[in-house]
Structure 1
Amino acid sequence: MNKIGYIQFQPILGNLDANIKKIQALFPLGEKADLIVLPELASSGYNFATRDEALKCAEEITKSKFVEFIIASAKKQNQYIVAGMNEKDGDTLFNTGILVGPQGFIGKYQKIHLFLNEKDIFKPGEAGLPVFDIGFCKTSILICFDYIFPEVWRIVGMKGADIVCHASNLITTNAQKCIPAQAFMNKLFIVTANRYGTEGDITFGGNSFITNPDAQIIDQAVSDKDAVSVVDIDISEARNKFVTSRNHVFIDRIPSNYKDLI
C-alpha cells in the first residue's frame, strides 16, 4: 500500500512569502503521504488583473524561492510533492506544475489549456505531457481546465501513468462529475487539489478529491476551509487495465477509426 494526498488552502494573490507560510503550516498534516498535491498557482494566487501584475510575482524555476521551499519540504518529509506555480521563462509566463522529491527537482508540466483570462497572461505549455517514474508509481501532472479534454487523460494513461496529479483552481463542481469517468476509462488514480476563497470576481470551490480507477471518489474535502488528506491506495489497481476479462481500455482501441479526431 502507498499513501497519496492533497493540500487545499486559500492563497493570497501576489504574496509569495505569505503563501509559503500557509503551505509550511499545513505540510506536517500530510507528511505521511508518499505523494502529495497542492493547487494550481499555489505560489501566487490566480486572479491577476493584468499580465504585469502576474509578472511581478512570477519566478524562474532555477532561481525560485518557492521551488527551493518545496524541495526542502520534500527532503525533510521524504516525499514527492506536486505544486502549481507562476513560472517566468525569459519574458514568457507559464502556468506550471512542478514535481519534486527527496532527491530534488524532477520535472514540470506547463498548462496547455488556458481558461478565460489566463489567455491574456500565460502562454500555453510547450513541454508536452510528461510522465515521471518516481519509484512506487508513474505519475503525471494536469492543471485545472485540462480536465475538459479527454485526449490528455488518454495520452498520460497510455504513457503509463498510474496517478494523475490534478492541480486546480476550480470554480464549479463539474470536475467532480467528469473526472471519475476519466479515472475509469483510463484506469487511473486522480488527485484533484483545489483551492477555496474569493479573488476579485471569482470564487473557488474547494472540495478537493481523490478518485480511484473504478470511478469512485474515495476522499473529498469541504468547500470553504483548509484541508489536508492522505489516503491508502493499492497502486496495482491502476495497472489492471481490463474492464472485463476480454476488454482492455488500451489494447481494444482501434486508432484507424479515429482519424477524424485529428
Structure 2
Amino acid sequence: MKLALVQIKHRQTKRENLDNILSAIEKYGRECGLMLFPETCMGLKAAGGSLRELAEDIGSGEFVSAVRKACAAVSVHVCINVWEDSGTDRVFNTALVIAPDGTTKAVYRKLHLFDALSVRESDDMKAGSELPPVFDVDGVKCSLAVCYDLRFPEVFRSAVFRGAELFLIPAAWYSGAHKTEHLRTLLAARALENTAYAACADICQGSFAGHSAVCSPFGLIEAEAGEDETVIFAEIDTAKVKETRKILPCLDNLSDIF
C-alpha cells in the first residue's frame, strides 16, 4: 500500500485550510491508497477565541462533508484530524479515517492532552475515553494516535496486540530545542519496539517542527520531510512486518508477567 504524508502549514481561516486539503487530495489522491494529514489541520483558534468556534459534527459538518466528497471523487482513504463538537465547552481532538466511498472507517479521540511546558490543551479539549481502533486499509492493519500520544508506548502496544501493522499519527509537534530529535526518536521507538510501521504527518512552519516521517518495522526512517510544505510517499509492505517479527520476535518473547 502506498502512503502519502501531507505536511502543510496553517492558513488564516478554516475555509482556507479546507481548500488546501481538498487541493492536496485532488492532486495526490490518485497516486496512493492512503493520505495522512496533520493534527490541527482544520486550523487554530483565533486570539481570544475558542476551538468550539471551529468544531463541528463529524457526521454532517461542512468541513468533514467536503473531505468525504473529495475522497469519493478520487477513490482514496484519507486520515484527517478535526475539532469535533463534544456538546460541551471543550472539543474532541479527533482523528477520522474516511474510506474511498466517503464513509467513516475509523474514529479516534485523542487520549493524552498536552498539558506541558507552557501549553494546556485540556483548557480547550476534552480527552477521549477509548483506545484507538484497528482497521484495514488495502490489506494493511492500521491504528491511530495523535501527537502527544507518541510519548505513551502503552497506546501503541495495545494496538499491536490487536493486530496493528501501521501506526498513523497526525501531529502538530512544536518546534524548539531538541524537539525534532524527540520526534524522530519517539517515532523510531514506537516502530521498533512493536515491529510495525510508524508514520507521522506534522504541521510545519510557525511554531511547528515539520519533519514528517515514516519509520520501518526495524525502526529506520524510510522517508522524512524537512521544514516546509511538501508531500512524501512510502510503500507499506506487510511482508516486511512479518519478516521483521520473525527476525526480532520481541512480541512473542514478552514476559508472561505482563
| Mapping for residues 115-126 of structure 1, pairs under 5 Å | 115-116=114-115, 117-126=120-129
Using a 3 Å threshold, how does the CA distance of structure 1 residues 212 and 165 change in structure 2: closer, same or farther? same
**1:129-177 deviations in whole A, cap 9, x for unaligned?**
2111234211111000000011111111111111111000011211112
1:190 to 183, 198, 207: 198
Asked whether the 8 Å contact 2:33–2:138 carries over to 1, the reply is no
Structure 2 counterpart of 1:214, which letter? F
**1:44-91 deviations in whole A, cap 9, x for unaligned?**
23x6656x5111111111221121122122212211110111111222
2:227 paired with 1:228? no
Structure 1 moving runs of 4+ over 6 Å = none
Residue equivalent to 1:72: 69
2:46 paired with 1:23? no
Residue equivalent to 1:143: 146
Return the TM-score normalized by structure 1: 0.88
Shift of 1:252: 1.2
Q: State the superposition RMSD in angstroms.
A: 1.8
Residue equivalent to 1:110: 109
Shift of 1:241: 5.4
2:53 to 37, 52, 56: 56
Asked whether the 8 Å contact 1:137–1:163 carries over to 2, the reply is yes
Give distance in 2, aligned partners of 1:167 and 1:34. 17
| Mapping for residues 125-204 of structure 1, pairs under 5 Å | 125-171=128-174, 172-173=179-180, 174-198=182-206, 203-204=207-208
Residue equivalent to 1:38: 37
Using a 3 Å threshold, how does the CA distance of structure 1 residues 184 and 96 change in structure 2: closer, same or farther? same
Give distance in 1, aligned partners of 2:29 and 2:145. 21
Asked whether the 8 Å contact 2:217–2:244 carries over to 1, the reply is no
Worse-superposed segment, 27-36 or 122-131: 27-36
Give distance in 1, aligned partners of 2:138 and 2:36. 17
Shift of 1:239: 3.2
Asked whether the 8 Å contact 1:221–1:227 carries over to 2, the reply is yes
Give distance in 2, aligned partners of 1:205 and 1:108. 25
SS in 2 for 1:69: helix
- Report the number of matched residues: 246
Asked whether the 8 Å contact 2:191–2:218 carries over to 1, the reply is yes
Return the TM-score normalized by structure 2: 0.89
| Mapping for residues 232-251 of structure 1, pairs under 5 Å | 232-240=235-243, 242=245, 244=247, 248-251=249-252
Give distance in 1, aligned partners of 2:136 and 2:67. 19
Structure 2 counterpart of 1:79, which letter? V
Asked whether the 8 Å contact 2:41–2:82 carries over to 1, the reply is yes
Give distance in 2, aligned partners of 1:77 and 1:251. 40
Give distance in 2, aligned partners of 1:217 and 1:139. 18
Using a 3 Å threshold, how does the CA distance of structure 1 residues 19 and 214 change in structure 2: closer, same or farther? same
Give distance in 2, aligned partners of 1:31 and 1:190. 22
Percentage of matched positions with identical amino acids: 24
SS in 2 for 1:31: helix
5+ residue gaps, structure 1, are: none
SS in 2 for 1:18: helix
